[in-house]
């Protein structure tokens, strides 16, 4: 993509409405624009990142055997009356009356609808275990939407639901999703520590929140230093994690029997980006989801639900990966892998060298604008592509380009061939 | 995908609520389920088709230089007051009041929002021409939703908007989109005839509706027989099309100066799946989108809008491509390319032959169920994958499989190698 053609309205100044760094950077880097309180349009650069995150989440869900569906955003209030949540949900639920005076709502979550689909379409326990998921817009009418996409009202979420014949099987489904989350966050280039979470009125100890560590995190988190090693692994199992203490400030209790001594506790800030939750039969029972079981007797499936805040992750990853110049995208979700800077647009030799390289880089944003070098450097650092290639008259004469890593700042002078080999490897 | 593991609740009987064939087949083939009037959940098989259509639409838009954004579904009523459409739109607009008593709405279309984004983020005519698009949910509160996804309330639509400095440039943008539509529908495996459409209060002759021909189409259409040749071409230009008569029953006038003699008119039924529309300055003027122009004087950009009904297309393509046994998917959007039927699940040799082939087919739905052959044949015809491979004990003994084309019904006995060569070519 040529920057001269790209719809990328970057801002030089910090927008006053943005209180946290990810919100500031997403506005400045031309990724999003607010259209109403807590409601955003994703511009091309932001949408690329959002789609990359979505793709990784989808790939890991599919790999684990979950199957994708797409539920509608607008749901019937009657459905939510079956579970008792229509009255219980409160003002965060966006309630709607349609032209025929039917009460509807914009789904803040989908336990009711997925349970209905299961109830209407599954005939035997033999179809279990089954995990269905979707990546779909949700709406929660936050009283004070803020922090950009981190706490918006309309947001994109992956929500998954598992159905099992009994608790043992449900626990396996939970473990599978736990592993999926660990792998997913690793691929997204961030550390997300699973914390034991409140499982509320349902009881049981099967609920974890995944928190990305970031200075600007909304929650204080406290965790065993052993996590540092654990999170570096390629895979962890639920049992190992369950032995280690980790809690958000709401749950933290230094006197808890599992809490390690103070010198083995790390204190940090965290952003919740995912939650896995064993639901038991709360919804299946309330909504009369009953199936003939193995021995002819009826069973009430055990459910679990598993959320990842897809749009929130864009902000959370920026909170974890930025410096004072801008964003530092992990390669896995970068909108482009390479930013190519032409130091002298209009100079025939430099233009030719840039065009040549541009044609050979499959994921490149080429700054071909007639702008000062300083502006180009600043914009490129701001948008945070993993690699920058700088080409100017001197380099062209000497047959070299400068390759810079955005994350480390490390610069190298290389032949065009070596740079290409490095970038396309 | 193994059918035994797949969430595919097919129905043997025709659902009574479905009045047209695509709705019946989408329900029977386990593609969708209704969750409220005119509101559907896409099950895994249906979602695959929807995503395939979305992908082709996106590829053709990107290839033409349009850039993708994602606008929110919930918009502010104030924005629609700027254009005067908030009061004008009527009951099809789903109006919402949020917790702070602000008037909001679920976007039925997005001219206002895109114009606002342009107004706030574009500073000079030099950024024109520009075409932005999104593939996003819309909601229109139809008084009588029916025909499944063909006339639903919540639906997926591609909507694009072009901005140009003057009429000549706007006409070029229109032509570009016209060509995109021709290519897109061709790739989707259907004939969609562009018909001159009413451009309403805006005036001018620049509006075309694209209609897929299908017996169950909602509109009568009348067109010059010359279209038969024209639609077979790889590309057509707007000028050629503009010389040929084509009109829906609402617009048809046999005495129109452009109308050919009766023996050169074809009469058919059509389903509208896309529309291209020159808007002029209707929205840019109303919403005060003004830019410094080439000679320093201000310009008011000329706009166009371009819609494709992505979810509607799933139904429309089925209307055009089915027989009495079920759907006949074009390869370009088929949920899987091949359906593999194991005639004797449990027979070691047949199982082994099926497993071997399954492993070598990248896009295959393998019917490994313990069901009668008749059930498997019927289900496979119903879901309509382009190719069927049938493997039974006799074939295994003779080293052959049966390959059937769903569209033509043609069957061939082939060696496994020949079948693979054919399917993976």
Pick the residue of B34, B36, B49, B145 with the most A CBs within 10 A to test the interface with A by mutation.
B36
Residue span(s) of chain B under CATH 3.40.50.800 come to 336-423
CATH class of A336-423: alpha beta
Determine what percent of chain B is predicted with pLDDT higher than 90: 87
CB-based contact B139 A98, cutoff 8 Å: no
Per-residue confidence at A196, pLDDT binned at 50, 70, 90? confident
Determine what percent of chain B is predicted with pLDDT higher than 70: 98
Mean pLDDT computed over B374-382: 97
CATH class of A3-323: alpha beta
Pick the residue of B3, B31, B69, B130 with the most A CBs within 10 A to test the interface with A by mutation.
B69
Contacts of B6 in chain A (CB under 8 A): 67
Mean pLDDT of chain B: 95
- B22, with CB counted inside 10 A (0-12, 13-18, 19+), is buried
- Residue A249: the pLDDT is 87
Nearest to B79 by CA among B49, B103, B51: B103
Is the model's pLDDT at A112 over the cut of 90?
A: yes
Tell me the per-residue pLDDT of B169-192, one tens digit each, with 9 for 90 and over: 999 999 999 999 999 999 999 999
Mean pLDDT computed over B343-356: 97
**Can you give the C-alpha Rg of chain B in angstroms?**
24
Is the model's pLDDT at A205 over the cut of 70?
A: no
Q: How many CB atoms lie within 10 A of CB A202?
A: 14
- Residue B199: the pLDDT is 62
- Residue B206: the pLDDT is 86
Is the model's pLDDT at B202 over the cut of 80?
A: no
Is the model's pLDDT at B203 over the cut of 70?
A: no
CB contacts < 8 A (A, B): 140
Is the model's pLDDT at A234 over the cut of 90?
A: no
Give, rounded to a whole angstrom, the gap between the first and last alpha carbons of chain B.
Answer: 20
- Residue A215: the pLDDT is 86
Mean pLDDT computed over A184-201: 85
- Residue A204: the pLDDT is 57
Contacts of B44 in chain A (CB under 8 A): 67-69
Q: How many CB atoms lie within 10 A of CB A136?
A: 18
Cβ-count burial B255-266 (b if 16+ within 10 Å, e if not): eeeebbeeeebb
Mean pLDDT highest for which of A56-60, A420-424, B83-87, B202-206? A56-60
Contacts of B90 in chain A (CB under 8 A): none
CA–CA separation, A51 and A48 (whole Å)? 5
Q: How many CB atoms lie within 10 A of CB A41?
A: 23
Contacts of A30 in chain B (CB under 8 A): 121
- Residue A200: the pLDDT is 57
> Residue A87: in which H helix or E strand, if any?
helix A85-88
Contact A259, A245 (CB under 8 A): yes
- Residue A296: the pLDDT is 85
B33: nearest CB among A36, A104, A121: A121
- Residue B240: the pLDDT is 86
Residue span(s) of chain A under CATH 3.30.930.10 come to 3-323
CB-based contact B41 A6, cutoff 8 Å: no
The C-alpha of B127 sits at a distance from chain A's nearest C-alpha, in angstroms, of 8
Contact A366, A353 (CB under 8 A): no
The DSSP code sequence of A111-123 is HHHHHHHHHHH--
CB-based contact A113 B43, cutoff 8 Å: no
ipTM score here?
Answer: 0.97
Determine what percent of chain A is predicted with pLDDT higher than 90: 87
Q: How many CB atoms lie within 10 A of CB B170?
A: 25
- Residue A163: the pLDDT is 98
CB-based contact A41 B99, cutoff 8 Å: no
The C-alpha of A397 sits at a distance from chain B's nearest C-alpha, in angstroms, of 32
Tell me the per-residue pLDDT of B140-168, one tens digit each, with 9 for 90 and over: 999 999 999 999 999 999 999 999 999 99
Mean pLDDT computed over B47-53: 98
The C-alpha of B33 sits at a distance from chain A's nearest C-alpha, in angstroms, of 8
CA–CA separation, A405 and A385 (whole Å)? 9
Minimum mean pLDDT range among A78-82, A207-211, B212-216: B212-216
Mean pLDDT computed over B243-251: 88
Tell me the per-residue pLDDT of A340-364, one tens digit each, with 9 for 90 and over: 999 999 999 999 999 999 999 999 9
Is the model's pLDDT at B201 over the cut of 80?
A: no
Place of tokens 């909601």: B139
B121: nearest CB among A33, A73, A141: A33
**A-chain residue closest to B115, CA distance:** A35
Give the Å distances, CA to CA, from B373 to A135, B39, B335, B337, B358. 36, 35, 22, 20, 18
Q: Which pTM does this prediction carry?
A: 0.97
Dihedral over Cα of A201, A275, B72, B143: its sign: negative
CB-based contact A79 B35, cutoff 8 Å: yes
Q: How many CB atoms lie within 10 A of CB A86?
A: 18
Per-residue confidence at B200, pLDDT binned at 50, 70, 90? low
> Residue A319: in which H helix or E strand, if any?
helix A310-320
CA–CA separation, A64 and A50 (whole Å)? 22
Chain centre distance of CA B275: 12
Mean pLDDT of chain A: 95
Give the Å distances, CA to CA, from A65 to A132, A176, B6. 9, 10, 10
Give, rounded to a whole angstrom, the gap between the first and last alpha carbons of chain A.
Answer: 20
Tell me the per-residue pLDDT of A382-425, one tens digit each, with 9 for 90 and over: 999 999 999 999 999 999 999 999 999 999 999 999 999 999 88
Mean pLDDT computed over A53-69: 98
Mean pLDDT computed over B376-402: 97
Contact B271, B316 (CB under 8 A): yes
B42: nearest CB among A70, A104, A137: A70
CA–CA separation, A180 and A381 (whole Å)? 32
Which are the contacts of B220, defined by CB distance < 8 A and separation ≥ 6?
B248, B249, B252, B267, B268, B269, B270
């Amino acid at each position: 993509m040529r920057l001269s053609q790209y719809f990328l309205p970057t801002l030089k100044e910090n927008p006053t409405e943005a209180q946290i760094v990810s919100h500031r950077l997403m506005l400045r880097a031309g990724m999003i624009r607010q259209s109403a309180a807590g409601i955003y349009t994703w511009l091309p650069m932001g949408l690329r990142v959002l789609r990359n995150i979505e793709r990784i989440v989808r790939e890991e869900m599919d790999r684990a055997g979950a199957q994708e569906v797409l539920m509608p955003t607008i749901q019937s209030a009657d459905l939510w009356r079956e579970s008792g949540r229509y009255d219980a949900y409160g003002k965060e639920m966006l309630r709607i009356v349609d032209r025929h005076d039917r009460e509807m709502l914009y789904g803040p979550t989908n336990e009711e609808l997925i349970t209905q689909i299961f109830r209407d379409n599954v005939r035997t326990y033999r179809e279990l275990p089954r995990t269905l998921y979707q990546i779909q817009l949700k709406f929660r009418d936050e009283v004070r939407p803020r922090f950009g996409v981190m706490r918006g009202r309309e947001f994109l979420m992956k929500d998954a639901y598992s159905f099992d014949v009994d608790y043992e099987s449900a626990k396996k489904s939970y473990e599978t999703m736990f592993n999926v989350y660990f792998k997913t966050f690793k691929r997204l280039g961030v550390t997300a520590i699973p914390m034991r979470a409140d499982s509320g009125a349902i009881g049981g100890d099967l609920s974890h929140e995944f928190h990305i560590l970031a200075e600007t995190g909304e929650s204080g988190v406290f965790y065993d230093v052993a996590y540092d090693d654990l999170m570096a692994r390629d895979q962890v199992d639920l049992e190992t994690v369950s032995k280690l203490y980790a809690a958000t400030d709401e749950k933290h209790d230094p006197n808890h029997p599992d809490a390690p001594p103070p010198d083995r506790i790390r204190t940090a800030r965290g952003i919740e980006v995912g939650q896995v939750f064993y639901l038991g039969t709360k919804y299946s029972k309330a909504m009369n989801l009953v199936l003939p079981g193995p021995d002819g007797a009826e069973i009430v499936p055990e459910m679990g639900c598993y959320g990842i805040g897809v749009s929130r992750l864009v902000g959370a990853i920026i909170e974890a990966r930025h410096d004072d110049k801008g964003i530092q995208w992990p390669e896995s979700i970068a909108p482009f892998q390479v930013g190519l800077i032409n130091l002298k647009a209009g100079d025939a030799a430099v233009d030719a060298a840039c065009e040549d390289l541009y044609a050979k880089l499959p994921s490149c944003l080429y700054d071909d604008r007639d702008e000062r070098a300083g502006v180009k450097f600043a914009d490129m650092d701001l948008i945070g592509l993993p690699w920058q290639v700088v080409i100017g008259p001197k380099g062209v004469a000497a047959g070299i380009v400068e390759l810079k890593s955005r994350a480390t700042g490390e610069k190298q002078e290389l032949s065009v061939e070596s740079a290409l080999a490095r970038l396309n490897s």
